[in-house]
Amino acid sequence: MRILEPGKISDHVYFLGDYFITFYLIDAPQKALIDAGMSVYVKELTRQIEEKIGGFKNLSYIFLTHSHYDHVGLVSYIKRVNPEVKVVAHPYAKKVFQNPRAMEIIRELNKESLRFKPELEEDWRSAAEIDKIEVDTTPEHRDVFDLGNDVNLTIFYTPGHTKDSVTYYLSPDKAVFGSDGLGVYTGSGSIMAEFLSDYREYLNSIKFLKNLDIELLCLPHSGVVKGKSQIQRHIQQHLEETISFRNRIISLYRRFGDIEKVVKTITMEDYEKEQIFQPIEAYLINLRAMVKSALESVGEEEFKS
């Protein structure tokens, strides 16, 4: 089944935010937030966290799945409210946040996202402004965080969507949280491929997921997939769509021989038809990256065949 509305989804996990931008709260002795969404969600997330655990002051960790703007937008705000909270991310994400140009893009895209919530009051908008994002801890692949009372979070490096994509496995809930490399549903019900940094690593990361014992697949957008059989179907559909989309890019590039023409064609064919929730600016950035990633995955002979 799919869980599309926020609420408690297991003994230790709350789905927060909404269908478009999800946050996950792990309610253990050491409480943790998975991802920090977009800054435009500042008022909504503050209310939800206050209802569930009494506020950000009771949060011990923010675990980031990767460094994209729509997953890190509230880190600065939460850190200002609770300077003791520890931000955990891949070592490469720490480098991204130290890059002035990358931070400029994160700020710009978060500011643009304010148009999705025009009713948000000015004081909340000001409160959520991003100054800096500092990572406190950079775990290794397969490191485990003990959150208390036998609640453990295991870290897996799962690159492909980005270089810094991380998947977290929560036990005993058998819940998985990760980047867009988990697969994201469009409004039409299809699953988007998101191999921005490396197509082959992305495929390997999907295959890695197939071997985990998962009862809750907590997507970074578009809700939660619950139940082992449905999760396996989701992973298989995601794998097939990834291969199909890569082959489509290669075919279009053979036809046009120009990356921008490929990007324009796919955008015209998919953006409205598939009801893609992503803002067009971010969609185009990601699509260009995927076209380049697909082209890098093949040699000269495949282009000629």
Among candidate residues 69, 30, 42, the one with its CA nearest the CA of residue 149: 30
Could you report the per-residue pLDDT of 33-46, keeping only the tens digit for each? 999 999 999 999 99
- The answer to whether 287 and 267 have CB atoms below 8 angstroms apart is yes
Could you report the per-residue pLDDT of 101-126, keeping only the tens digit for each? 999 999 999 998 888 899 999 999 99
- The answer to whether 57 and 82 have CB atoms below 8 angstroms apart is yes
Which DSSP category does 242 fall into? Answer: H
Q: How far is CA 230 from CA 192, 227, 237, in A?
A: 17, 6, 10
pTM exceeds 0.85, yes or no: yes
Could you report the per-residue pLDDT of 269-294, keeping only the tens digit for each? 999 999 988 888 889 999 999 999 99
- 301: pLDDT strictly greater than 80: no
Q: Which helix (H) or strand (E) holds 45?
A: helix 42-53
- 237: pLDDT strictly greater than 70: yes
pLDDT of residue 242: 97
Q: Which helix (H) or strand (E) holds 50?
A: helix 42-53
- The answer to whether 34 and 23 have CB atoms below 8 angstroms apart is yes
- The answer to whether 217 and 224 have CB atoms below 8 angstroms apart is yes
Could you report the per-residue pLDDT of 155-193, keeping only the tens digit for each? 999 999 999 999 999 999 999 999 999 999 999 999 999
Structural domains of the chain in order of their starting residue, each with its CATH number: 2-233 (3.60.15.10), 249-304 (no CATH)
Give the chain's mean pLDDT.
Answer: 95
Q: Say which residues have a Cβ less than 8 Å from residue 79's Cβ, sequence separation at least 6.
A: 85, 87, 134
> Concatenated DSSP letters for 255-291?
HH--HHHHHHHHHHHHTTTTT--S-HHHHHHHHHHHH
Which DSSP category does 144 fall into? Answer: E
Among candidate residues 206, 132, 196, the one with its CA nearest the CA of residue 163: 196
Q: How confident is the model at residue 213 (pLDDT cuts 50, 70, 90)?
A: very high
- 71: pLDDT strictly greater than 90: yes
Q: How confident is the model at residue 235 (pLDDT cuts 50, 70, 90)?
A: very high
